Amino acid sequence: MIVVLFRSQLTELTGDEYVSTDERLFEKARSAPGFVDVKSYTAADGERLTVVRWKDHETLRRWREDPEHRAAQENGRNHWYSWYEMEIADVVRTSRFDRGGIPVRAEGGVE
């Protein structure tokens, strides 16, 4: 699995066009082959963090090269973001605990 950490700060120019593009691309990504999940968070100072998980490098590459996604990236650099930083990492190990009854699972690595 691949994890994308996208940290960003929006500019004052960000408005309805950004919101509609963001919503449309999130829906498109969710239906893309290899998409696992996405979560977004906003800190009190306005810094944003979006965490996206993809099945593998190939499915992430296809998303990166999607024409609509490419156009949004260009708009982001030209209008919407004061700054952004992206980190992409291979997941080496996962584990999970859920008191609600889902068993603990681990994938890869050593418990």
pLDDT at 104: 58
Report the predicted TM-score, pTM, of the whole model to 2 decimal places.
Answer: 0.83
Q: Which residue has the tokens 């190990």?
A: 93
pLDDT at 5: 98
> Measured in whole angstroms, how far is the alpha carbon of residue 77 from the centre of its chain?
17
Sort strands 2-10 and 48-54 into parallel, antiparallel or unpaired. Answer: antiparallel
pLDDT at 13: 81
What is the per-residue pLDDT across 60-77, written as a single tens digit (0 to 9) for each? Answer: 999 999 999 999 999 999
- Sheet with 2-10: list strands edge to edge: 35-42, 48-54, 2-10, 81-90
Which domains are assigned to the chain? Answer: 2-107 (3.30.70.100)
**pLDDT mean over 86-100:** 91
What is the per-residue pLDDT across 11-70, written as a single tens digit (0 to 9) for each? Answer: 988 999 999 999 999 999 999 999 999 999 999 999 999 999 999 999 999 999 999 999
Amino acid of residue 92: V
